[in-house]
Protein backbone atom coordinates (compact mmCIF):
# COMPACT_ATOMS: atom_id res chain seq x y z
CA UNK A 1 0.00 0.00 0.00
CA UNK A 2 1.33 3.46 -0.95
CA UNK A 3 1.81 5.98 1.81
CA UNK A 4 0.30 9.40 1.19
CA UNK A 5 0.86 12.57 3.21
CA UNK A 6 -1.34 15.64 2.76
CA UNK A 7 -0.30 19.13 3.90
CA UNK A 8 -3.11 21.71 4.22
CA UNK A 9 -1.92 25.31 3.74
CA UNK A 10 1.10 26.70 1.92
CA UNK A 11 2.08 29.55 4.26
CA UNK A 12 5.14 30.19 6.41
CA UNK A 13 5.21 26.67 7.82
CA UNK A 14 3.32 24.79 5.09
CA UNK A 15 5.54 25.80 2.16
CA UNK A 16 8.86 24.59 3.64
CA UNK A 17 7.19 21.46 5.04
CA UNK A 18 5.79 20.47 1.65
CA UNK A 19 9.20 21.02 0.04
CA UNK A 20 11.02 19.09 2.76
CA UNK A 21 8.62 16.12 2.54
CA UNK A 22 8.86 16.10 -1.25
CA UNK A 23 12.67 16.11 -1.09
CA UNK A 24 13.01 13.24 1.40
CA UNK A 25 9.94 11.18 0.51
CA UNK A 26 11.76 8.32 -1.22
CA UNK A 27 14.35 8.01 1.56
CA UNK A 28 11.79 7.86 4.37
CA UNK A 29 9.11 5.69 2.73
CA UNK A 30 6.47 8.17 1.58
CA UNK A 31 5.01 7.49 -1.88
CA UNK A 32 2.99 10.62 -2.42
CA UNK A 33 3.05 14.16 -1.01
CA UNK A 34 -0.06 16.23 -1.70
CA UNK A 35 -0.66 19.83 -0.69
CA UNK A 36 -3.96 21.66 -0.45
CA UNK A 37 -3.94 25.32 -1.43
CA UNK A 38 -6.95 27.31 -0.34
CA UNK A 39 -6.81 30.44 -2.47
CA UNK A 40 -5.89 30.74 -6.17
CA UNK A 41 -3.51 33.71 -6.29
CA UNK A 42 -1.33 34.77 -9.18
CA UNK A 43 1.50 35.84 -6.85
CA UNK A 44 1.53 32.34 -5.29
CA UNK A 45 1.76 30.60 -8.68
CA UNK A 46 5.55 30.25 -8.65
CA UNK A 47 5.51 28.67 -5.19
CA UNK A 48 2.94 26.10 -6.34
CA UNK A 49 4.76 25.29 -9.57
CA UNK A 50 8.13 24.84 -7.88
CA UNK A 51 6.65 22.63 -5.16
CA UNK A 52 5.13 20.52 -7.94
CA UNK A 53 8.51 20.34 -9.68
CA UNK A 54 9.97 18.96 -6.46
CA UNK A 55 7.39 16.14 -6.69
CA UNK A 56 4.41 17.33 -4.61
CA UNK A 57 0.88 17.21 -6.07
CA UNK A 58 -1.68 20.00 -5.85
CA UNK A 59 -5.20 19.49 -4.45
CA UNK A 60 -7.83 22.24 -4.36
CA UNK A 61 -11.54 22.64 -3.60
CA UNK A 62 -13.49 21.17 -6.52
CA UNK A 63 -15.27 24.43 -7.36
CA UNK A 64 -11.95 26.31 -7.53
CA UNK A 65 -10.30 24.01 -10.09
CA UNK A 66 -11.10 26.31 -13.08
CA UNK A 67 -9.64 29.34 -11.24
CA UNK A 68 -6.39 27.49 -10.50
CA UNK A 69 -6.22 26.25 -14.11
CA UNK A 70 -6.78 29.76 -15.48
CA UNK A 71 -3.75 30.88 -13.49
CA UNK A 72 -1.63 28.02 -14.87
CA UNK A 73 -1.77 25.71 -11.81
CA UNK A 74 -2.97 22.20 -12.61
CA UNK A 75 -4.49 20.34 -9.66
CA UNK A 76 -4.13 16.56 -9.47
CA UNK A 77 -6.88 16.01 -6.90
CA UNK A 78 -9.81 17.74 -5.27
CA UNK A 79 -9.39 18.47 -1.57
CA UNK A 80 -11.84 15.69 -0.64
CA UNK A 81 -10.05 13.18 -2.89
CA UNK A 82 -6.77 14.15 -1.24
CA UNK A 83 -8.25 13.74 2.25
CA UNK A 84 -9.56 10.34 1.21
CA UNK A 85 -6.13 9.22 -0.07
CA UNK A 86 -4.11 10.57 2.86
CA UNK A 87 -2.59 8.32 5.52
CA UNK A 88 -1.44 11.39 7.44
CA UNK A 89 -2.80 14.95 7.26
CA UNK A 90 -0.72 17.91 8.45
CA UNK A 91 -2.72 21.07 9.04
CA UNK A 92 -0.68 24.25 8.54
CA UNK A 93 -3.47 26.81 8.48
CA UNK A 94 -3.68 29.97 10.65
CA UNK A 95 -4.95 30.05 14.22
CA UNK A 96 -8.34 28.41 14.74
CA UNK A 97 -8.67 26.80 11.32
CA UNK A 98 -7.03 23.56 12.46
CA UNK A 99 -9.71 23.07 15.12
CA UNK A 100 -12.42 24.00 12.63
CA UNK A 101 -10.99 21.57 10.04
CA UNK A 102 -10.92 18.85 12.71
CA UNK A 103 -14.66 19.30 13.29
CA UNK A 104 -15.62 19.81 9.65
CA UNK A 105 -13.32 17.38 7.81
CA UNK A 106 -10.91 15.24 9.81
CA UNK A 107 -13.56 13.53 11.96
CA UNK A 108 -15.09 12.21 8.71
CA UNK A 109 -11.82 10.65 7.54
CA UNK A 110 -10.74 8.97 10.78
CA UNK A 111 -11.75 5.55 9.38
CA UNK A 112 -9.04 5.58 6.68
CA UNK A 113 -6.41 7.97 8.07
CA UNK A 114 -3.71 7.02 10.56
CA UNK A 115 -3.40 10.47 12.06
CA UNK A 116 -3.78 14.24 11.93
CA UNK A 117 -1.18 16.81 12.93
CA UNK A 118 -1.66 20.52 13.65
CA UNK A 119 0.77 23.33 14.46
CA UNK A 120 1.54 25.71 17.34
CA UNK A 121 -1.62 27.80 17.47
CA UNK A 122 -4.09 24.87 17.67
CA UNK A 123 -4.30 24.43 21.45
CA UNK A 124 -6.54 21.43 22.20
CA UNK A 125 -6.13 19.77 18.78
CA UNK A 126 -4.35 16.70 20.14
CA UNK A 127 -1.42 15.41 22.18
CA UNK A 128 1.36 18.00 22.36
CA UNK A 129 4.63 16.88 20.84
CA UNK A 130 8.29 17.85 20.50
CA UNK A 131 10.52 15.30 18.82
CA UNK A 132 13.30 14.26 21.18
CA UNK A 133 11.38 15.35 24.31
CA UNK A 134 8.15 13.35 24.70
CA UNK A 135 8.27 10.66 22.00
CA UNK A 136 7.66 8.05 24.68
CA UNK A 137 4.26 9.64 25.42
CA UNK A 138 2.90 8.77 21.96
CA UNK A 139 0.74 5.65 22.02
CA UNK A 140 0.48 3.76 18.68
CA UNK A 141 -3.12 3.13 17.62
CA UNK A 142 -4.46 5.42 20.36
CA UNK A 143 -3.10 8.88 19.55
CA UNK A 144 -4.70 10.00 16.30
CA UNK A 145 -4.35 13.77 16.80
CA UNK A 146 -1.01 15.45 17.53
CA UNK A 147 -0.21 19.12 18.06
CA UNK A 148 3.36 20.09 17.21
CA UNK A 149 3.93 22.96 19.63
CA UNK A 150 5.28 26.37 18.58
CA UNK A 151 8.95 26.95 17.76
CA UNK A 152 9.63 28.82 21.01
CA UNK A 153 7.86 26.14 23.05
CA UNK A 154 10.22 23.62 21.41
CA UNK A 155 13.09 25.71 22.69
CA UNK A 156 11.79 25.92 26.29
CA UNK A 157 11.00 22.21 26.30
CA UNK A 158 14.40 21.00 25.19
CA UNK A 159 16.19 23.23 27.73
CA UNK A 160 14.02 21.94 30.59
CA UNK A 161 14.35 18.35 29.41
CA UNK A 162 18.12 18.47 29.02
CA UNK A 163 19.38 20.79 31.73
CA UNK A 164 16.86 20.09 34.52
CA UNK A 165 15.06 16.77 34.04
CA UNK A 166 18.25 14.88 33.21
CA UNK A 167 18.90 15.24 36.95
CA UNK A 168 15.62 13.48 37.80
CA UNK A 169 11.91 14.12 37.14
CA UNK A 170 11.68 16.25 40.30
CA UNK A 171 14.86 18.28 39.66
CA UNK A 172 13.21 21.44 38.30
CA UNK A 173 12.15 23.84 41.08
CA UNK A 174 11.06 26.49 38.57
CA UNK A 175 11.70 27.63 35.02
CA UNK A 176 11.41 31.29 33.95
CA UNK A 177 11.68 32.46 30.35
CA UNK A 178 11.57 35.69 28.36
CA UNK A 179 10.78 35.01 24.71
CA UNK A 180 12.15 37.86 22.60
CA UNK A 181 10.31 37.22 19.40
CA UNK A 182 11.20 38.41 15.96
CA UNK A 183 8.58 40.84 14.68
CA UNK A 184 7.51 38.67 11.76
CA UNK A 185 8.89 35.98 9.49
CA UNK A 186 11.02 36.63 6.44
CA UNK A 187 8.10 35.60 4.21
CA UNK A 188 5.53 37.79 5.99
CA UNK A 189 4.64 41.38 5.12
CA UNK A 190 2.38 42.23 8.07
CA UNK A 191 2.83 42.52 11.84
CA UNK A 192 6.25 44.15 11.73
CA UNK A 193 6.85 46.38 14.79
CA UNK A 194 8.91 49.60 14.70
CA UNK A 195 10.19 49.18 18.26
CA UNK A 196 10.21 46.58 21.06
CA UNK A 197 6.59 45.81 21.98
CA UNK A 198 5.69 43.82 25.08
CA UNK A 199 2.98 41.16 25.29
CA UNK A 200 0.41 40.95 28.06
CA UNK A 201 0.59 38.14 30.60
CA UNK A 202 -2.76 36.77 29.49
CA UNK A 203 -2.45 33.45 31.29
CA UNK A 204 -2.92 33.90 35.05
CA UNK A 205 -0.72 30.92 35.91
CA UNK A 206 1.86 30.67 33.14
CA UNK A 207 2.14 34.23 31.78
CA UNK A 208 2.16 33.55 28.03
CA UNK A 209 1.24 30.50 25.97
CA UNK A 210 4.87 29.35 25.78
CA UNK A 211 5.11 28.19 29.41
CA UNK A 212 1.50 27.00 29.35
CA UNK A 213 2.17 24.80 26.33
CA UNK A 214 5.45 23.50 27.76
CA UNK A 215 3.59 22.63 30.96
CA UNK A 216 1.00 20.64 28.98
CA UNK A 217 3.73 19.00 26.95
CA UNK A 218 5.44 17.67 30.09
CA UNK A 219 2.06 16.60 31.49
CA UNK A 220 2.06 13.96 28.73
CA UNK A 221 5.05 12.49 30.64
CA UNK A 222 3.20 12.71 33.95
CA UNK A 223 5.06 15.81 35.16
CA UNK A 224 3.64 18.99 36.73
CA UNK A 225 6.26 21.69 36.22
CA UNK A 226 6.45 25.18 37.68
CA UNK A 227 6.93 27.37 34.58
CA UNK A 228 6.37 31.01 33.69
CA UNK A 229 7.06 32.93 30.48
CA UNK A 230 6.94 36.51 29.21
CA UNK A 231 7.15 37.68 25.63
CA UNK A 232 8.30 40.78 23.81
CA UNK A 233 8.44 41.42 20.07
CA UNK A 234 11.64 42.96 18.78
CA UNK A 235 12.08 44.94 15.59
CA UNK A 236 14.13 42.24 13.89
CA UNK A 237 13.29 39.54 11.37
CA UNK A 238 16.23 37.25 12.09
CA UNK A 239 15.54 34.84 14.95
CA UNK A 240 13.69 34.57 18.22
CA UNK A 241 15.95 34.88 21.28
CA UNK A 242 15.12 33.35 24.67
CA UNK A 243 16.48 34.29 28.08
CA UNK A 244 16.10 31.43 30.54
CA UNK A 245 16.49 30.78 34.25
CA UNK A 246 16.27 27.22 35.56
CA UNK A 247 16.21 26.71 39.28
CA UNK A 248 17.28 23.18 40.25
CA UNK A 249 16.88 20.95 43.29
CA UNK A 250 20.25 19.26 42.82
CA UNK A 251 23.40 21.26 42.11
CA UNK A 252 25.24 21.20 38.81
CA UNK A 253 28.33 22.81 37.33
CA UNK A 254 29.04 24.83 34.20
CA UNK A 255 31.15 21.92 32.96
CA UNK A 256 28.24 19.50 33.39
CA UNK A 257 25.87 21.91 31.63
CA UNK A 258 28.29 22.00 28.66
CA UNK A 259 28.40 18.17 28.64
CA UNK A 260 24.60 17.85 28.68
CA UNK A 261 24.22 20.32 25.82
CA UNK A 262 26.88 18.46 23.84
CA UNK A 263 25.21 15.07 24.38
CA UNK A 264 21.79 16.11 22.98
CA UNK A 265 21.81 15.99 19.18
CA UNK A 266 18.77 18.30 19.05
CA UNK A 267 20.77 21.10 20.67
CA UNK A 268 23.39 23.19 18.91
CA UNK A 269 25.80 25.40 20.83
CA UNK A 270 27.49 28.50 19.52
CA UNK A 271 30.07 31.11 20.41
CA UNK A 272 28.27 33.57 18.13
CA UNK A 273 26.47 36.20 20.19
CA UNK A 274 24.45 37.78 17.40
CA UNK A 275 21.30 36.20 15.95
CA UNK A 276 22.16 37.32 12.44
CA UNK A 277 25.39 35.26 12.47
CA UNK A 278 23.47 32.13 13.47
CA UNK A 279 20.71 32.87 10.95
CA UNK A 280 23.32 33.38 8.26
CA UNK A 281 24.91 30.01 9.07
CA UNK A 282 21.48 28.44 8.49
CA UNK A 283 21.23 30.14 5.10
CA UNK A 284 24.46 28.51 4.00
CA UNK A 285 24.28 25.12 5.69
CA UNK A 286 20.61 24.38 6.42
CA UNK A 287 17.89 22.76 4.32
CA UNK A 288 16.79 25.74 2.21
CA UNK A 289 18.22 27.96 4.95
CA UNK A 290 16.85 26.08 7.94
CA UNK A 291 18.76 24.21 10.59
CA UNK A 292 16.62 21.59 12.34
CA UNK A 293 17.94 21.79 15.91
CA UNK A 294 15.48 22.57 18.67
CA UNK A 295 17.65 25.37 20.04
CA UNK A 296 21.00 27.11 19.64
CA UNK A 297 22.48 27.84 23.07
CA UNK A 298 24.97 30.70 23.33
CA UNK A 299 27.87 29.25 25.33
CA UNK A 300 29.40 32.54 26.55
CA UNK A 301 26.00 33.55 27.98
CA UNK A 302 25.73 30.56 30.32
CA UNK A 303 25.97 31.20 34.05
CA UNK A 304 25.73 28.71 36.92
CA UNK A 305 25.36 30.13 40.42
CA UNK A 306 27.87 29.48 43.19
CA UNK A 307 25.63 26.88 44.84
CA UNK A 308 25.09 25.17 41.45
CA UNK A 309 21.31 25.46 41.66
CA UNK A 310 20.59 28.33 39.26
CA UNK A 311 21.31 28.26 35.53
CA UNK A 312 20.92 31.41 33.42
CA UNK A 313 21.55 31.87 29.72
CA UNK A 314 20.42 32.93 26.28
CA UNK A 315 19.57 30.86 23.23
CA UNK A 316 18.23 31.39 19.73
CA UNK A 317 15.23 29.58 18.26
CA UNK A 318 16.00 27.99 14.88
CA UNK A 319 13.33 29.73 12.86
CA UNK A 320 10.60 27.24 12.02
CA UNK A 321 13.12 24.39 11.60
CA UNK A 322 12.34 22.74 14.93
CA UNK A 323 8.58 22.60 14.19
CA UNK A 324 9.33 21.19 10.74
CA UNK A 325 11.42 18.39 12.25
CA UNK A 326 8.71 17.49 14.78
CA UNK A 327 6.09 17.57 12.00
CA UNK A 328 8.11 15.12 9.90
CA UNK A 329 8.84 12.98 12.99
CA UNK A 330 5.13 12.82 13.92
CA UNK A 331 4.25 11.93 10.31
CA UNK A 332 6.75 9.08 10.25
CA UNK A 333 5.62 7.94 13.70
CA UNK A 334 2.08 7.52 12.34
CA UNK A 335 3.38 5.67 9.27
CA UNK A 336 6.17 3.63 10.85
CA UNK A 337 5.90 3.66 14.67
CA UNK A 338 8.58 0.97 15.04
CA UNK A 339 11.43 2.57 13.11
CA UNK A 340 10.54 6.23 12.52
CA UNK A 341 13.68 7.47 14.30
CA UNK A 342 15.86 5.40 11.95
CA UNK A 343 14.06 6.88 8.96
CA UNK A 344 14.56 10.40 10.32
CA UNK A 345 18.32 9.97 10.03
CA UNK A 346 18.10 11.34 6.52
CA UNK A 347 17.71 14.76 8.19
CA UNK A 348 20.79 14.45 10.39
CA UNK A 349 22.92 16.65 8.10
CA UNK A 350 20.75 19.55 9.28
CA UNK A 351 21.29 18.95 13.02
CA UNK A 352 24.41 20.79 14.08
CA UNK A 353 26.37 20.30 17.30
CA UNK A 354 28.06 23.66 16.94
CA UNK A 355 27.23 26.74 14.91
N1 LIG B 1 5.44 30.95 11.20
C2 LIG B 1 6.20 30.12 11.87
O3 LIG B 1 7.44 30.21 11.91
C4 LIG B 1 5.60 29.04 12.64
C5 LIG B 1 6.43 28.26 13.39
C6 LIG B 1 5.89 27.23 14.09
C7 LIG B 1 4.55 27.00 14.03
N8 LIG B 1 3.73 27.80 13.29
C9 LIG B 1 2.30 27.48 13.29
O10 LIG B 1 1.91 27.06 11.99
C11 LIG B 1 0.53 27.38 11.77
C12 LIG B 1 0.42 28.17 10.50
O13 LIG B 1 1.15 29.36 10.65
P14 LIG B 1 1.80 30.09 9.41
O15 LIG B 1 2.69 31.12 9.97
O16 LIG B 1 2.37 29.11 8.46
O17 LIG B 1 0.49 30.76 8.76
P18 LIG B 1 0.37 31.53 7.37
O19 LIG B 1 1.70 31.89 6.84
O20 LIG B 1 -0.66 32.58 7.57
O21 LIG B 1 -0.20 30.42 6.38
C22 LIG B 1 -1.41 29.79 6.55
C23 LIG B 1 -1.83 29.11 5.26
O24 LIG B 1 -3.11 28.52 5.42
C25 LIG B 1 -3.91 28.77 4.27
N26 LIG B 1 -5.29 29.10 4.62
C27 LIG B 1 -5.82 30.28 4.92
N28 LIG B 1 -7.12 30.21 5.16
C29 LIG B 1 -7.45 28.96 4.98
C30 LIG B 1 -8.65 28.25 5.09
N31 LIG B 1 -9.81 28.86 5.40
N32 LIG B 1 -8.62 26.94 4.84
C33 LIG B 1 -7.47 26.34 4.49
N34 LIG B 1 -6.30 26.96 4.37
C35 LIG B 1 -6.29 28.26 4.63
C36 LIG B 1 -3.34 29.97 3.61
O37 LIG B 1 -3.60 29.96 2.21
P38 LIG B 1 -3.20 28.90 1.03
O39 LIG B 1 -3.73 27.57 1.36
O40 LIG B 1 -3.88 29.50 -0.15
O41 LIG B 1 -1.73 28.91 0.89
C42 LIG B 1 -1.91 30.04 4.08
O43 LIG B 1 -0.98 29.63 3.12
C44 LIG B 1 0.07 28.13 13.01
O45 LIG B 1 -0.51 27.18 13.88
C46 LIG B 1 1.35 28.63 13.62
O47 LIG B 1 1.24 28.79 15.02
C48 LIG B 1 4.23 28.81 12.59
**DSSP-assigned states of every residue in 212-244:** HHHHHHHHTTT----EEEEEEEES-SS-EEEEE
Nearest CA to ligand 1 atom 8: 120
Decide whether any atom of ligand 1 lies within 6 Å of the 220 Cβ: no
Ligand 1 centre distance from Cα of residue 19 (Å): 15
CA distance 194 to 236: 9
Distance from the CA of 151 to the center of ligand 1, in angstroms? Answer: 14
Q: Is the dihedral of CA 268, 270, 275, 277 positive or negative?
A: negative
Domains (ranges, CATH) in the chain?
4-125 (3.40.50.720), 151-320 (3.30.360.10)
pLDDT score of 1 more than 80: no
Specify the residue with its C-alpha closest to ligand 1, atom 25: 9
Residue 102 predicted with pLDDT over 90: yes
Q: How far apart are CA 241 and CA 79, in angstroms?
A: 38
pLDDT at 239 over 80: yes
User: Given the CA of residue 151, which atom of ligand 1 is nearest to it?
Assistant: 6
- Quote the ligand 1 centre to 14 CA distance (angstroms): 7
74 Cα–ligand 1 center, Å: 22
The DSSP code for 121 is T
- Which three-class secondary structure state does DSSP give residue 208? coil
pLDDT score, position 187? 85
The rounded Å distance from CA 36 to ligand 1 centre is: 12
Distances (CA, A) of 217 to 96, 129, 149, 150, 245: 20, 7, 8, 11, 19
pLDDT band at 188 (very low <50, low <70, confident <90, very high): confident
pLDDT score at 255: 98
Banded model confidence at residue 185, pLDDT cuts 50, 70, 90: confident
Q: Helix or strand or coil: residue 53?
A: helix
Q: Is 150 in the pocket of ligand 1 (CB under 6 A)?
A: yes
Q: How far is CA 157 from the centre of its chain?
A: 12
Burial classification of residue 131, based on how many CB atoms lie within 10 Å of its CB (0-12 exposed, 13-18 middle, 19 or more buried):
buried
Confidence band of 186 (pLDDT split at 50, 70, 90): confident
By three-state DSSP, how is residue 341 classified?
helix
Share of the chain above pLDDT 70, in %: 100
Ligand 1 neighbourhood includes 15 CB (under 6 angstroms)? no
Amino acid sequence: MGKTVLVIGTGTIGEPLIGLLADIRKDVGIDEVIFNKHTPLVHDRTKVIYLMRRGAKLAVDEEKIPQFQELGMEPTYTKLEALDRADVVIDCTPKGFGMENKREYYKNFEHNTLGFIAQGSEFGFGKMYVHGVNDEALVPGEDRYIQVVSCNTHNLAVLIHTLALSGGPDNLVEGRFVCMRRANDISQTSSYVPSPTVSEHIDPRFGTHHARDAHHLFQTLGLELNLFSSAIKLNTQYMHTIWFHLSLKRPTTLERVHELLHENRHIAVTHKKSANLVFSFGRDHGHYGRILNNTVVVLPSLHVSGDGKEIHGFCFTPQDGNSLLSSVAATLWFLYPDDYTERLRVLEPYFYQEI
